Chains A and B, each alone.
Chain A
Amino acid sequence: GAVVSQHPSWVICKSGTSVKIECRSLDFQATTMFWYRQFPKQSLMLMATSNEGSKATYEQGVEKDKFLINHASLTLSTLTVTSAHPEDSSFYICSARKRDSFNQPQHFGDGTRLSIL
């Protein structure tokens, strides 16, 4: 149980394109989902916390207008990288926390590798 699916797993696109990444909790409801960014050989950096039915909370230094997050249901959060540029190329990982389980760990998706040409 507690499976998180991320789609797509890999995307290559031209500079200026907007890219949407989906994060789904397949067998549980998630009121909170998290979006992380990971550069090669580096740790995960939290970008934003996504709460169902409300605005996302962004970490300091993360551009809200650049990385649009929508958490429209208890099983789906999306991250849209708007007008992507080569410096946005990275590995993006989402995680989800089960509803009503504040002391339970997050469950991670398999990540999306984004390459901007």
Chain B
Amino acid sequence: AQSVTQPDIHITVSEGASLELRCNYSYGATPYLFWYVQSPGQGLQLLLKYFSGDTLVQGIKGFEAEFKRSQSSFNLRKPSVHWSDAAEYFCAVVANNNDMRFGAGTRLTVKP
């Protein structure tokens, strides 16, 4: 069955530390891949997306993600986390049937 998995429900990192949020998908072909961020009480904001080409994608706010076909993964990274990055992060995929599926989300807490 088609699915998107974010294995970490909650992650806590110290301000200034590096961050990696995991995302794995299960689809027959390479889907379109996205990372969104949701701050409390807000809608979702697109951080970055991957359709094809260079597997390392740069996004807004200093985020990047790497598509690894062999691992069916699209992990989100940031070298140095800021307190304002505390939010919920969603990985999403769009497959051939035009259906967008979201992972369960990872809540990021940033310690001072």
A binds B: no
Partner-A contacts on B (CB < 8 A) = none
Partner-B contacts on A (CB < 8 A) = none
